[in-house]
Structure 1
């Protein structure tokens, strides 16, 4: 069943019910679930745990949110919306950078998002705000109408892939008590005793050439720059073609 009334609860004023005012609200329930998931993971944010945190019976919670699936959808959409993707006077490339930075921050702050599939996202204000922001951003890039949505989806896929990695890194570091950097350091013996240079000539040649040295640009920044360069070229070619056709 669609949960649109819950997702869009803030856009329509609630009707005042007769009798005693409700002790809780959907917003309070969702905020508690997010707080628990942030601390202990998505599985911990069960209906029973959230109810206990709020000091009510589990069945009481179901009068606000019909199911655990609905609760998770509301949690996801709320954290999506919290990114505050509002466009100012930035260039379209700066807007993409803003989207990338805030999406990464979102996954790091809420690592349980890595446990949720966003292939079929909740169709709430958070999802729609993201789509509106990216469509407007790519429209400003000068792309033809037929390519704007494709460009927005390409950026979404690229940014989310890296952002989810950051979230997973946070989740694993918390669960194990060890950072990923420390994990790699503990495995230094592998390169000395187990890595066969003859079986991996391309990797060995790149290592000897200094190709694994950190030059101050991450793989994400490198890839995003190439992606946006291609889109910028596409938009410029379209603008140039339009000018020639006018002439």
Structure 2
């Protein structure tokens, strides 16, 4: 059967309706016995669980336990685990209002990037989800519109605008994942970065001397002294973001559709 001939997935339809539940009219005949909880409460409970434990062991049963209801009852509100996570993603995306996009193009892109960075800091489990086919809820739609507005008027094509937004989002996710991994490593080992570096730095200085590792020994020593650790995720984010934005601005300046003005003031 060709994809276009495939039957409509009732689960997908129901999940999409749940995502837009606050903008859709109440279904006819929806009145009935008083419910024990609500879809909003199930989603909030899922977010709290994911914030505490991540998604590795996330389950409908754990969500039900937090709500004080039976696990089968949860399925009367959401179709399943993946669908609940989709609802959680959209809810977390709309948790904080989008800041005003002010200033020139680099400034606006920085605002977008820092907003995403802060979101990953509040909800690290967002880094564990597959975003290749996102759940298109109202908050995700609002986010996309807001992100595109940061690039609107810069003189590049619609496809290029989408790719700029994708590039910024991908870089932030990668940097946030590295920061999360560094934090989790410190928590699991029981050693702070500073303590780990204090233990390992003396030996590293001996084995990576100037004779065998003239460049990496010098750079590694300078970096270790500056970071007091093996790496500095915050600095990596700021430095990498600045270079990514530099590249975007250079691309916009070279775009045939761009006018002769400076995109930095766009």
TM-score, normalised relative to structure 1: 0.81
Aligned pair 1:51/2:64, yes or no? yes
Segment drifting more, 120-129 vs 55-64:
120-129
Structure 1 residue ranges without an equivalent (≥5): 242-247
- How far apart, in 2, do the equivalents of 1:77 and 1:199 lie? 52
1:8 aligns to what? 20
- Contact 1:111–1:171, Cα closer than 8 Å, also in 2: no
- Contact 1:104–1:167, Cα closer than 8 Å, also in 2: no
- How far apart, in 1, do the equivalents of 2:122 and 2:185 lie? 13
1:147 aligns to what? 160
- How far apart, in 2, do the equivalents of 1:176 and 1:129 lie? 40
- Contact 1:83–1:102, Cα closer than 8 Å, also in 2: no
2:243 aligns to what? 226
* Cα deviations by residue, 1:54-112 (Å, 9 ceiling, x for unpaired): 11111111100111111122222221222432434444333322222222222222222
Cα 1:126/1:66, change in 2 over 3 Å: same
1:244 aligns to what? none
* Cα deviations by residue, 1:24-77 (Å, 9 ceiling, x for unpaired): 111100111111221222234321111111111111111001111111222222
- How far apart, in 2, do the equivalents of 1:67 and 1:212 lie? 47
- How far apart, in 1, do the equivalents of 2:72 and 2:32 lie? 20
Structure 2 residue ranges without an equivalent (≥5): 1-10, 262-266
Task: Give the root-mean-square deviation of aligned CA atoms.
Answer: 2.9
- How far apart, in 2, do the equivalents of 1:77 and 1:63 lie? 20
State the number of aligned residues.
Answer: 240
- How far apart, in 2, do the equivalents of 1:185 and 1:153 lie? 39
Please point out which of 51, 65, 69 is paired with 2:78. Answer: 65
1:134 aligns to what? 147
- How far apart, in 2, do the equivalents of 1:206 and 1:18 lie? 68
- How far apart, in 1, do the equivalents of 2:142 and 2:177 lie? 19
- How far apart, in 1, do the equivalents of 2:93 and 2:186 lie? 23
- How far apart, in 2, do the equivalents of 1:190 and 1:40 lie? 36
- How far apart, in 2, do the equivalents of 1:172 and 1:79 lie? 25
- Contact 2:101–2:150, Cα closer than 8 Å, also in 1: no
Cα 1:181/1:196, change in 2 over 3 Å: same
- Contact 1:108–1:170, Cα closer than 8 Å, also in 2: no
Cα 1:140/1:174, change in 2 over 3 Å: farther
1:239 aligns to what? 259
Cα 1:186/1:83, change in 2 over 3 Å: farther
- How far apart, in 2, do the equivalents of 1:230 and 1:187 lie? 37
- Contact 1:78–1:126, Cα closer than 8 Å, also in 2: yes
Specify the SS of the correspondent of 1:32.
Answer: helix
- Contact 1:173–1:180, Cα closer than 8 Å, also in 2: yes
Segment drifting more, 193-202 vs 126-135:
193-202
TM-score, normalised relative to structure 2: 0.76
